[in-house]
Structure 1
């Protein structure tokens, strides 16, 4: 059996996403399953080293994950020739420096989004990797969510006819911390720390729209800071300087109109924390993170407006649940496996840092649109 032991520097993995999605549910699970089977006689086995600034957090994470190697010195990890991949899940403002160091050390790069705080820097990181001949990728996890995958299958099978519109609702109530502890880190709500929901979520909506429904051509966005004060991790009150809600409309290639509401100040009365409704000439679908429901043209009721009587149509009853036709794994794990196969076997991986730069571009255009109170075109990068 040929085994490719791949050293992976996991920088910033002590954070919420790095710990849960990338280490415990992705890399640790790949190790537990015996690696990635490339063929009957060949596997890829991750060999991670945990990198962070707090040794006590690293030690706890090592015990939790079973990964023994750790360091607080990223330069030491970069100097080890065994480590050929650099992964970055630090806060956004630290990412560019980490990627530049990794490129200089000759490491392939895989990182969380947003890949940088501005489009210029994001494109620079892509060009650095390209010039050095290094493989690179950005996390675009929602493309592998079961609900999104089911939508893609419906599109591939022509279920919708002509797609007219996409409506996304994302978010939940993030507690302020005065009585109930917040479930998101405080830096998310400080602009000076690169926080804000526009920067965070428009990067997601860019790749979902581009890869599922059509390329984004233009954007109109309104942001808001609904909650002016929150409590930080030390129990101290702080002023919220970043947007906690975004209301954005996108014009897509082919004439599709998409609208996404994103908010950390909304209470959920829908199927999931993220729902997408897609309406077409022949049918509609509503997808959450895992489930998807459809209504065909032939099953569409014919409402008549009459507010003087109780609504006779039970609208939820006219939808059919899409059955489970595939086995879906953790979306982050799926993309990790694809990236590792890309590095080792040179298999295709279109989600490179240039795709990550597109997400940063849309976030920047969204903020500019909010500031100028106008529609803005989104040019090709």
Structure 2
């Protein structure tokens, strides 16, 4: 596990996935057997790795990736490093014959992502990319509505994601400073558009075109050491996507917006028979038969509480941590060849959408998404 000293690598992948899986007795296989995971922590800081290993009673840690890859007992390589460092390390793992699982974006450019995809195919190793949003309770409920035909013909999708990330001067920023430097692989388009690609593709259909506007609203920030720096990466991106079948999606992504939503991300789906608003955990619906009939009259106050006309979708199931669920899927993929559709090719399509969105923003035009 390379990159576990970072926020996501530690909290979601090590603690809430791998260690949680072991605490439950391992990954359950189709034949009833279980597989335990033996994490080997890899990173640049011996001090940080040793502290994590001691805190969680983990036997193995190293700053030498080559030695970890040379160990035949290490079967899977996982990468949660900063994006710029990922390609070189993943290629090392592939050359060592390891199955590879990586955070998104799988690379910083389509060219690099295609290189990785070709490399894993030539080597014949199992490969996967994290696509955690598909396993959020809110989106699982949305998937249930789609499969049940609740919406009729889906017309549009509107997404809002983001929150205010402090500039780092009078309050510390809650994201690392490299996110705001393009030269270090930062930018909200590269960070979030791969998410939107797999969410839209898996729930509503392939993306045919993108029109995007990316901007840097906060040009000056303060880093972790208290030094000011110029933000060279986009901190907000506004996208319009045309999907196969005529569905139109609009998604705003921003680290410079104050939240006036129930959750940090929400998707509203409108169809001929009904609508839904899904967030991280919740999902509310309004059927055609229960839709109010508002009339535009700015001279009078609204007489209807529109939010009261929506009904909460019940859980009807126990929802596990999405990262953990996908880890279990990937382990089954490696051990018993169970299906795992979220491979490097799927991850490459996410990088492609981010790259095309940035091109659209730079050229001020709609860009067609060609099949790779």
TM range (shorter): over 0.9
Pairs within 5 Å for 1:201-240: 201-240=192-231
Structure 2 equivalent of residue 74 of structure 1? 65
Alignment of 1:145-184 (within 5 A): 145-184=136-175
* 289-298 or 57-66: bigger deviation: 57-66
| Aligned-partner Cα distance in 2 for 1:125–1:234 | 34
Give the superposition deviation at 1:366: 0.3
Residue 378 of structure 1: how far off its partner (Å)? 0.3
Report Cα offsets for 1:20-64 as digits up to 9, x if no partner: 000000001001111012156511111110001001111221233
Is residue 83 from structure 1 mapped to residue 66 from structure 2 by the alignment? no
Between the aligned partners of 1:108 and 1:22, the Cα distance in structure 2 is: 17
2: CA distance between counterparts of 1:301 and 1:225? 39
Asked if residue 17 in structure 1 is aligned to residue 8 in structure 2, the reply is: yes
More strand by share: 1
Structure 2 Cα separation of the partners of residues 339 and 40 of structure 1: 16
1:190 to 181, 196, 203: 181
Using the alignment, how far apart are the partners of 1:13 and 1:379 within structure 2? Answer: 35
Matches within 5 A, 1:42-191: 42-191=33-182
Q: Which runs of 5+ in 1 are unaligned?
A: 1-9
Alpha-carbon spacing, 1:39–1:362, altered in 2? closer, same or farther (3 Å): closer
TM-score by length of 2: 0.99
SS in 2 for 1:174: coil
In structure 1, the residue matched to 2:294 is: 303
Q: Which residue pairs with 1:356 in the alignment?
A: 347
Unaligned 5+ residue runs, structure 2?
none
Aligned residue in 2 for 1:251: 242
Does residue 1:266 correspond to 2:260, yes or no? Answer: no
How far apart in 2 are the matches of 1:125 and 1:44?
A: 27
8 Å CA contact 1:23, 1:65 repeated in 2: no
Q: 1:357 to 1:40 in 2, by over 3 A?
A: closer
- What is the root-mean-square deviation in Å for CA atoms of aligned residues? 0.8
- Give distance in 2, aligned partners of 1:40 and 1:154: 31
Q: 1:80 to 1:279 in 2, by over 3 A?
A: same
Q: After TM superposition, list the pairs within 5 Å mapping 1:281-300 onto structure 2.
A: 281-300=272-291
Deviations 1:154-206 (A, max 9, x none): 00000000000000000000000111100000000001101000000000000
